[in-house]
Copies of this chain bind each other. A is one copy, B any other.
């Protein structure tokens, strides 16, 4: 998510991101983060006073990074279906790069929603404009009518769910074959686009 590991603070943030995303707040251990960063526990507390504060820093970074993506694309002036296609491409590319994000975000959101709420407000994320763009496309007859909220949930769910459920899919459908699972997830870009476009195509 971030790059340079020159100074200690960056090393800690990178290490904490890795460990928190893998284990979640409850499962993560300060010792493990220190090991991952190549330093000792005391230094973690020197930079970030507590595990809570360190977690907040990481979670905030991730929410600010993952949530605005879709909204950005929908602001452009393409026709609506092209926007949808591009949003799906962009989002699944993001997930292919950070496949543990969905599991992590869903876990933390359910653990303590209030933490998430504060972050959304802090980052000023707003879903209203997105819903409006969808309503307008429906009014113009570009796509079938439905509650815009459902369309948003459908598209995001189709993108996100396979990544959150990856271990299940890998085991049940591909006998834990890593390459086959990866190929399946990459196919999702085409698959979700086709599925959604068929579903929203006006009669």
Q: SS class of chain A's interface: helix, strand, loop or mixed?
A: helix
Chain A 4-31, CB-CB to B under 8 Å as 1, else 0, gives 0000000000000000000110110000
Separation of A191 and B26 alpha carbons in the complex (Å): 35
State the oligomeric state as a number of copies.
Answer: 2
Residues of B within 8 A of A187 (CB): 147, 150
20 A-B pairs with C-beta separation under 8 A: A23-B26, A103-B106, A113-B171, A120-B171, A120-B172, A125-B172, A127-B172, A127-B173, A144-B198, A146-B194, A146-B195, A150-B184, A152-B173, A153-B161, A154-B195, A160-B165, A161-B161, A164-B164, A198-B199, A198-B200
Instruction: Identify the A interface with B (CB < 8 A).
Output: 23-24, 26-27, 100, 103, 106-107, 109-111, 113, 116-117, 120, 125, 127, 131, 144, 146-147, 149-150, 152-154, 156-158, 160-162, 164-169, 171-173, 184, 187-188, 191-192, 194-196, 198-201
